[in-house]
Amino acid sequence: MRAKYEEILVPRAEVLFDPEERQYITFGAFFANTMFHEVAHGKANMIR
The domain of 18 spans 2-47
Query: What pLDDT score does 47 carry?
Result: 64
Better-predicted residue by pLDDT, 10 or 43: 10
Domain tally for the chain? Answer: 1
Q: What is the average pLDDT across 5-15? A: 97
Residues in the chain: 48
Residue-wise pLDDT for 14-41, tens only, equals 999 999 999 999 999 999 999 999 888 8
Residues 9 and 33 sit within 8 Å (Cβ to Cβ): no
Query: What pLDDT score does 44 carry?
Result: 65
| pTM summary value | 0.74
Query: What pLDDT score does 48 carry?
Result: 59
* Distance separating alpha carbons of residues 7 and 37, to the nearest angstrom: 20
